[in-house]
Amino acid sequence: MQRRTMIAVGLVAIVVIAGLAMTPVTMVSVTGANGQAIVCARVDRESSIALTFTHSMYGGDVTETYRLTDSATLLRTSIQTDNAAAAEYYAWDGAVRAEGDRFEVVVPDQVFSSLPVRVDEIGNHRLMVDETSVDLAAMVDGSEGVRLSLVTPPLVSQVFGARC
C-alpha cells in the first residue's frame, strides 16, 4: 500500500510540475527582419515599456510609452518629445502641452497588436522595459525593420534559456 501511495504522490507531483512549466509568461519581443528575437524581456501588468528615438527632422528624443492590456496587446499611453516642433509633427490635431521640460503629444490611447519600427543609427532607438534599457540600434546592421510585440511562451522555455 505504501508503494502505491508513493507512486501516486510522484505522479501527482509530475503532473503539477508539468502544468506549472507550461504556464504562459508574457514577454516583450523585438524580432528582426529574419524573424529571430533580438530582445526578449519578461513583463507583467505593472511593467512600463518605453520606446525612445531621436527625431530625424527636429532632433531631440521622442518617447512613446506603452503598457499591457488584458488582451495581451500594447496600449500606447503617451508620446513625449524634447521640442514642440517634433510634438506638433506627431499630433493628429496639433494638440501639444508642456510637461516640465518636455512636450506631450495629446492623442487618444491606441492599442497595437504589434508595432513595426525602422531601427537605425539616425534614430538611435532604445527600448526601456521597467528598469532595463536596450540599445536597439546596436543590435541591427545599418537600418532594419523590426517588430515589437507581446508573446506568451510557456515558462519552461524561459527556464531552459530559450528566446521568445
pLDDT along the chain (164 residues), means of 10: 70 57 77 91 92 91 93 91 82 82 90 94 94 94 93 64 62
List, in sequence order, every beta strand (DSSP E) within 35-143: 37-42, 49-54, 61-68, 74-81, 96-99, 102-105, 110-112, 114-119, 126-129, 132-135
List, in sequence order, every beta strand (DSSP E) within 70-129: 74-81, 96-99, 102-105, 110-112, 114-119, 126-129
Q: Where in the chain are the domains?
A: 26-159
Contact 146, 33 (CB under 8 A): yes
pLDDT for the residue 113: 93
pLDDT for the residue 107: 84
pLDDT for the residue 111: 95
pLDDT for the residue 88: 75
pLDDT for the residue 135: 96
Which single residue is written with the C-alpha cell 540599445?
Answer: 135
Grid cell in block for residue 5:
501511495
Which single residue is written with the C-alpha cell 510634438?
Answer: 87
pLDDT for the residue 70: 85
Mapped onto helix, strand or coil, the DSSP state of residue 47 is coil
